[in-house]
Amino acid sequence: MDTTEEDYRKICQATLDGLQGELANGGTYLTIDSRLRLEYSKLVKAASSELSDKATRGLISWEQAAAEAQEMRNAIMEMIRGRSTPLGRAMAQQLKREGKTLNALIANKTRQNFGESAIFDNLSELQKNKIYGDIVKSAGKSNPRVNAKMLYYSRAGKGLLILSLAVSVYVITTSDDKMAAVKQEAAVTGSGIVGGMAGGAVAGLVCGPGAPVCVTIGAFVGGALASMGMSLAW
Residue 14 clears pLDDT 70, i.e. is over it? no
DSSP assignment string, 160-195: HHHHHHHHHHHHHHT-SSHHHHHHHHHHHHHHHHHH
pLDDT of residue 176: 76
Residue 95 clears pLDDT 80, i.e. is over it? no
pLDDT of residue 6: 65
pLDDT of residue 150: 76
| Tens-place pLDDT, residues 201-215 | 887 778 877 777 787
CB 48 within 8 A of CB 139: yes
Rounded distance between C-alpha atoms, residue 76 and residue 96, angstroms: 14
* No. of helices (H) and no. of strands (E), the chain: 8, 0
Rounded distance between C-alpha atoms, residue 134 and residue 109, angstroms: 7
Distance of CA 157 to the CA centre of its chain: 12
Rounded distance between C-alpha atoms, residue 10 and residue 85, angstroms: 31
Residue 108 clears pLDDT 80, i.e. is over it? yes
Percent helix, strand, coil in the chain (nearest 5)? Answer: 85, 0, 15
DSSP 100: P
Rounded distance between C-alpha atoms, residue 149 and residue 119, angstroms: 37
Instruction: Tell me the C-alpha to C-alpha distance, in Å, between residue 67 and each of 52, 106, 215.
Output: 12, 10, 34
One-letter amino acid identity for 96? K
pLDDT of residue 1: 45
